[in-house]
Chains A and B, each alone.
Chain A
Amino acid sequence: MTAQTKNIISVRGLVKAYGTFTVLHGIDLDIAEGEVVCVIGPSGSGKSTLIRCINHLEAFSPESTITVDGIRVQQGAALAKVRAEVGMVFQSFNLFPHMTVLKNVMLAPMRVRQTPEADAARKARELLARVGISEQAEKYPGQLSGGQQQRVAIARALAMEPRVLLFDEPTSALDPEMVGEVLDVMRHLAGTGVTMVVVTHEMGFARQVADRVIFMDGGKLIEMGTPTEIFDNPREERTRSFLRAVLNH
């Protein structure tokens, strides 16, 4: 990333605790507009919690600050604005099971941006075509495979035209043969200039697509750098042992 690119996400001293158990121990992180950042690390390292703080699905310590596009992320009226700019894709898809695929994608633009129904439908069909599932528009989520559902979830997030997309282990709940189709869609998205923060166990994807890789462990940001720096030449012992464990299975 070049120096003059502006930061769209800025995290300062992020502390998150459940009672006396501290999950995040003061994270500092800047993410530039258009950057693709992959967050890797063992389970329980706090990587999902980190991205869930960015759109305030998790409340965090009031001394910490997160800003998205200059707006402070906190409970209140400005939060809706942040969430409209920040799309999220979940591990378990979380599609609305009582609505057709098309309606799933149309809902938020109609309710949050007051997009007229016809426009929302047209846009939704475009997006479904983009993620390769136009034929399923009238079906219900339960009738789709996991890979198809996750692609619908990506289309649903894109419908709000977010400037940031958060992915919380988007392929972890998928059967192995469906991982590829979801990663393909994400790879394609990475080329469109949208800022992406991806929590993932897919090391191949991270190496190939990320501008920057972040390794977390024990609620701390241990190391970050380009994919080459992290995967080929990690400086920290913890990074090395994690990569040894995941790459040699």
Chain B
Amino acid sequence: MNLINTFFNLKVFLESLPQLLWGLVVTLEIGIVSIVAGLIGGLILAVARLYSPTFIKVLIRSYIDVFRSIPLLVLLIVVYYALPFVGIRLSPFLSAVTALSLVSAAYTAEIFRAGIEAIPHGQFEASAALGLSNRHTMVDVILPQAIRIVIPPLTNNCINVLKDTALASVVAMPDLLKQATQAQALAANPTPLIGAAVIYILLLWPMVAVVSRLEKHFSRGKR
């Protein structure tokens, strides 16, 4: 009984629920903006890496490697606490979105690169032989096929970005986790934390299930 009162206290849960739901909205805002920015950035990086002069290629390669190596929490703290010293003052929301997008773009670029490289060379040759420009080759021939291949790893990356939004709580962003810790302090009871955990799981479980389905589907449907 004591355990239930401590971790699954219905009264505390109901009182904290509106606050948790507000946190969820913030979490979704950060997540969605970062995912979209990361996708666009990653696609641009991947295609630019294919067609740029060597110097730019090296630059893109370094970007990708650096942002895949740096721990997200470290990057977030650098963006929020260090950049103000050089006059760049970002709000907690922008700091979170910037850090998440920079890292997500690096991972997304690698995913797109793998997808583009998986397309048989003959597709590029057939496009070239027909006189298609690089742009049309990408847009009409390569990307439609590559995107099919990269949907499962991209969805996986989206899940990671959504999970990592919880780190935004360290820069005072009132996201789901931050709201839960505040509600917990207020009620002197950890039920809101459990509530937040459950909300994260309810949000992400369907996406995880979709990824497994997609992975199975694509591994079977491949000709």
Contact = CB atoms under 8 A, between A and B. Distances in A.
Interface of A: 55, 57, 80-81, 83-84, 86-88, 90, 92, 94-98, 107-108, 111-112, 142, 156-157, 160
Given A96-B141, A111-B136, A142-B223, A83 B125 contact: no
8 contacts: A83-B131, A90-B122, A94-B125, A94-B126, A97-B145, A107-B130, A107-B140, A160-B130
Contact of A95 (B126, B128, B129, B148): B126
Contacts of A90: 122, 125-126, 129
Interface in B109-162: 120, 122-123, 125-126, 128-133, 136, 140-141, 144-145, 148
| A interface: dominant SS | mixed
B131 A84 contact: yes
A102 B173 CA distance: 53
A157 B131 CA distance: 10
Contacts of A86: 129
A243 B144 CA distance: 45
A88 B130 CA distance: 8
A80 B126 contact: no
Contacts of A98: 144-145, 148
Contacts, number: 61
A57 B129 contact: yes
Residue among A90, A111, A142 facing the most chain B CB atoms (10 A cut-off): A111
3 A-B pairs closest in CB distance:
A94-B126, A94-B122, A83-B131
A230 B203 CA distance: 74
Interface of B: 120, 122-123, 125-126, 128-133, 136, 140-141, 144-145, 148, 223
Contacts of B131: 80-81, 83-84, 108, 112, 160
Given A96-B141, A142-B223, A88 B129 contact: yes
| B interface: dominant SS | helix
Nearest to A80: B131
B128 A96 contact: no
A52 B130 CA distance: 13
Contacts of A156: 130
Nearest to A153: B126
Contacts of B133: 80, 111-112
Contacts of A57: 125, 128-129
B137 to A, nearest CB: 9
Given A107-B140, A111-B140, A142-B223, A94 B132 contact: no
Contact of A87 (B123, B128, B129, B148): B129
A176 B132 CA distance: 33
A92 B123 contact: no
Given A57-B128, A107-B132, A112-B131, 6 more contacts: A84-B131, A88-B126, A90-B125, A95-B126, A96-B123, A107-B130
